Structure 1
Amino acid sequence: MKLIGSLASPYVRKVRVVLAEKKLDYAYELENVWSPDTRINESNPLGKVPCLMMEDGSPMYDSRVIAEYLDTLTPVCKLLPPNGRDRADVKVWEALADGVLDAAVLVRLEKTLRPAEQQSEAWTTRQMAKVGAGLAVMSTDLGESPFCTGNQYTLADVAVGCALGWLAFRFPEIDWRGDYPNLARLYDKLSERQSFRDTVPQQ
């Protein structure tokens, strides 16, 4: 398999963490989707990373689809319960973490790609409200549990860890550590894992 991605994307990081936790071999191809000469559309018509190229040459895209597929390839470090409510709970956590990222990414694009005179303060405020609300729910739902869904490390923790790590990388002004000490404790614990140490976001 070959993973097409970037060193900064939190969605790519999620897939890289899963690949590491599952101990799966893959080639890694860096791609800047914002570059004029990007070729990502040859693999993903949506022009996004991550994109996983399968052994038969077919592409798989969207980090949630890729992560769920990778978890089926080996019983090593199962990240998703087999079925039922437990599995849905993990996927809801993942959707929440990705939703926080979606909103924050939109704010970053507004501020970095759009001329200052064209930027919408109302739009930015709306998206940042989603980030704040998402973080608050994460903290409430985590409570004092060691992991997002209780006592077991799952894809929920991978997704939340990647979201928090990217916020620390791109939005250091958001004091989620001070506001939500339990999220800080979870992130610090996740950051000790080799899979997280090897995938710290970079420019």
Structure 2
Amino acid sequence: MLVLRSAAASPFARKVRIVASALVLDDRIEILAADTSDPEDSLRRENPLGKIPALILENGETVFDSAVIVEYLDWLAGGGKVIPSEPQGRFRTLTRQSLADGICDAAVLLRYENLWREPPQRSAKWIAYQNEKIARALAAFEAEPPEELSDAGTIALACALGYLDARFEGAWRADHPRLVAWLDVFSDATPSFEATRFRG
């Protein structure tokens, strides 16, 4: 049995879980919660960075981060499933995944800034810098919403939008109607998207 060290709110862990479902591998993966702030959590031995998600293989080795886990799961399922084998599709999918993951990176940093710093210590310049990354990435996706619904790039995008909904009250929706429509279609076509929704 594979073990996924995870946290319910993590968009990166959610991406892995949806990929596992799309590849019909979810029954081979045990989800084990990790506390990234706890120095006693074994996560820091499994991934020296102390970050989630981390996938512990049956031989005890650990695979991380989420993009590498997705590639591993695709390989485990026979390859070419959520990451196309042919070069043009492959690199388009991986680039979209990277852009969507970048939205999540910036959004998580904004979340930490608000959680861990008192208001006088928060950097308006840093907050604006992260918000600008998110805005540019969303604009790129809004200009050309993906047609695919079940590759690594589009699953990552759905998880990024879901995280913005959960942590930032869906403020992105007002200026991105094409992405809103795309996410509705994705959600309808992907039961695991609703099943993995963070409710906290």
- TM-score, normalised on structure 2? 0.92
Cα distance per residue 1:112-158 (max 9 Å; x no partner): 1112221111110111111111100111121xxxxx2x356311110
- Given the alignment, which residue of 171, 176, 180 partners 1:180? 176
Match of 1:194 in 2: 191
The answer to whether the Cα contact below 8 Å between 2:103 and 2:137 also exists between their aligned partners in 1 is: yes
Match of 2:141 in 1: 138
Match of 1:106 in 2: 109
Cα distance per residue 1:16-60 (max 9 Å; x no partner): 001111111111101121245433102110000000000100000
Secondary structure of the 2:150 match is: coil
Find the aligned partners of 1:194 and 1:32 in 2 and give their Cα distance. 27
Find the aligned partners of 2:21 and 2:79 in 1 and give their Cα distance. 10
- TM-score, normalised on structure 1? 0.91
Secondary structure of the 2:31 match is: strand
Match of 1:57 in 2: 60
Secondary structure of the 2:63 match is: strand
Find the aligned partners of 1:22 and 1:99 in 2 and give their Cα distance. 24
Q: In structure 2, what residue type is equivalent to 1:179? A: D
Identity in percent: 35
Match of 2:16 in 1: 15
Does the C-alpha gap of structure 1 residues 77 and 190 become closer, same or farther in structure 2, counting only changes over 3 Å? farther
Find the aligned partners of 1:152 and 1:121 in 2 and give their Cα distance. 36
Match of 1:145 in 2: none
- Given the alignment, which residue of 95, 116, 123 partners 2:98? 95
- Point out where structure 2 has 5 or more consecutive residues left out of the alignment: none
Equivalenced residue count is 196
The answer to whether structure 1 residue 158 and structure 2 residue 155 are counterparts is yes
The answer to whether the Cα contact below 8 Å between 1:21 and 1:77 also exists between their aligned partners in 2 is: no
Find the aligned partners of 1:49 and 1:27 in 2 and give their Cα distance. 14
Query: For the aligned residues, what is the CA RMSD?
Result: 1.7
Find the aligned partners of 2:174 and 2:113 in 1 and give their Cα distance. 26
The answer to whether the Cα contact below 8 Å between 1:20 and 1:195 also exists between their aligned partners in 2 is: yes
Q: Between 188-197 and 68-77, report the one with greater CA deviation.
A: 68-77
Does the C-alpha gap of structure 1 residues 64 and 88 become closer, same or farther in structure 2, counting only changes over 3 Å? same
Q: In structure 2, what residue type is equivalent to 1:177? A: R
Does the C-alpha gap of structure 1 residues 46 and 77 become closer, same or farther in structure 2, counting only changes over 3 Å? same
The answer to whether structure 1 residue 40 and structure 2 residue 43 are counterparts is yes
Secondary structure of the 2:75 match is: coil
TM-aligned CA deviation for residue 187 of structure 1: 1.1
TM-aligned CA deviation for residue 159 of structure 1: 0.5
